[in-house]
């Protein structure tokens, strides 16, 4: 499935670059140019491209309609980001393994976009 490939690619990128991504997030508070590049150009760009993908697949009848495409795109990106990166800073999630998280996100995110029934 095409969406599963996108999930795999984004998860892999975030997981393998999580240290530098967290560093950029932290430094952005003090460096407006970095914040502009990271949050506006990069992250929002990913959300926009995910939204364009969803819109195209919905219009083609491959995926069912969603209540709000930008929110759905953000759901995909933020779910991946939390499990691939942010959970590592959450002591209550220490028992979650990298492989279990990757497999579960790979399964659940595309499943959220399958037609009902």
pLDDT digits (tens, 9 = 90+) for 45-103: 999 999 999 999 999 999 999 999 999 999 999 999 999 999 998 999 999 999 999 99
Dihedral sign for Cα atoms in the order 100, 103, 104, 105? positive
Domain ranges of the chain: 2-111
pTM over 0.85: yes
CA neighbours closer than 13 Å in the CB half-sphere of residue 21:
18
- The CB density around residue 35, as the number of other CB atoms within 10 Å, is 15
Burial (CB count <10 Å: 0-12, 13-18, 19+), residue 66:
middle
Give the separation between CA 102 and CA 15, rounded to whole angstroms.
9
């Amino acid at each position: 499935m095409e969406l599963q490939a996108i999930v795999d690619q984004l998860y892999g990128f975030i997981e393998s670059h999580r240290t530098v991504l967290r560093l950029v997030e932290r430094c952005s508070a003090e460096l407006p140019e970095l914040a502009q590049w990271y949050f506006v150009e990069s992250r929002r760009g990913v959300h926009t491209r995910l939204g364009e993908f969803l819109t195209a697949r919905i219009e083609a009848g491959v995926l069912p309609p969603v209540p709000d495409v930008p929110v759905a795109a953000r759901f995909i990106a933020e779910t991946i980001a939390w499990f691939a990166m942010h959970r590592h800073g959450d002591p209550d999630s220490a028992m979650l393994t990298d492989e279990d998280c990757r497999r579960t996100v790979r399964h659940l995110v595309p499943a959220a976009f399958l037609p009902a029934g």
